[in-house]
Amino acid sequence: MRVLILGGDGYLGWPTAMYLSARGHEVAVVDNMARRGYDNELGAESLVPIASLQERVAIWEAVTGYKIAAHIGDICDYTFFEPVVQDVQPEAIIHYGEQRAAPYSMIDRRHAVYTQTNNVAGTLNVLYAIADHVPACHLIKLGTMGEYGTPNIDIEEGYITITHKGRTDTLPYPKMPGSWYHASKVHDSVNIHFACRIWGLRATDLNQGVVYGVDTEEIRLDERLRTRFDYDGVFGTVLNRFLVQAVAEVPLTVYGEGGQTRGFLDIRDTLACVELAMLNPAGPGEFRVFNQFTEQFSVLELARAVEETGRELGLDVQINHLPNPRVEKEAHYYNAVNTSLLSLGLKPHYLNDTLLESVIHVVQRYRHLIKPHLIMPQVNWRETGNPLVKKETAAD
């Protein structure tokens, strides 16, 4: 198939490009390098050094013989994006191309407005480009389980059948986003659903849990093909932070009591899920929602798993409870349905399948690059001012 991957330089975008390319698909990627710019802004960087997109594309072709076409530009700029879609004529668009960090969106007003403008406007451009130029194209959009929040009922896959005052209907599942970023994803879902209804587009919304892992079959071909590994307090996922802290022998930073429960999955399963969605497309006019995760853990359960694995490897791992910078329930019911992708044939990798040990070994290899001060939380949901900028005082 002809596949266009938006955000093809990112943590998931680049491994997806290699994965599909290796399986014979004609792959093109789009990226505006904004994610690398966020690192410059925050004074952070991937723990694992990553080559430029152009370098990785060249290395991939040299190692495998497969080509990946790279288009450098912003999907929010329609004068750039529309010609790309016209040229590639994709049969599937895989949309990772958004600002994806909740803490980044909560830094201050400017970052909140940027996140929502960037994410919502970019997705609208994608929808119009599909409708105008490739109406049969299947949009596979990366959503997030964070759209749902933590309701006191089971989380269904996108829709819920309810009976109210004697009448029954199937409606989109209620959303309770936990940040301006998650709210942008909710807006995306509403917009994509609307476009499917009015234009007959076909779309799959992959409401993904937290992804972990550093290795895929393609990455193992050459160390220069690695994807990024974020561990800082803004872009680093909870498990990445814990693994880096374990190796650096810094106490694991559990927010509050650590009862917050979420869905998780291995990066290899993300790639498999995307391919399953692509090979089994939604029908015309269908807005399909898959909950994309394989296991559920609380933050404290993850910390204890890292603690146990670290100690088996001779690391002195301690757990430290910090005041929670987020506004969220710490003790809550959480039971989400995730049957659709399993029914399509997903064969999950599980966290206890030596995954933690293998990732720790990669972190140990790059231990000399760890900057412990980046790990601590600096963004507080309850504050509106930018905590990353020095505040002026009367004395200043």
Please identify every residue annotated as catalytic.
Answer: 144, 181, 185
Residue type, 138: H
Q: Are 38 and 15 in contact (CB under 8 A)?
A: no
Other beta carbons less than 10 A from residue 77's beta carbon: 13
Spatial CA neighbour of 318 closest among 256, 252, 254: 252
Residues 297/298/301/305 CA torsion (nearest 10 deg): 50
What backbone torsions phi and psi does residue 255 show, to the nearest 5 degrees? -80, 120
Helix %, strand %, coil % of the chain (to 5): 40, 20, 40
DSSP state of 153: S
Q: Are 370 and 248 in contact (CB under 8 A)?
A: yes
**Structure-token match 């390098």, residue found:** 33
Measured distance CA(393)–CA(396) in Å, rounded:
5
Measured distance CA(384)–CA(107) in Å, rounded:
7
Residue type, 91: E
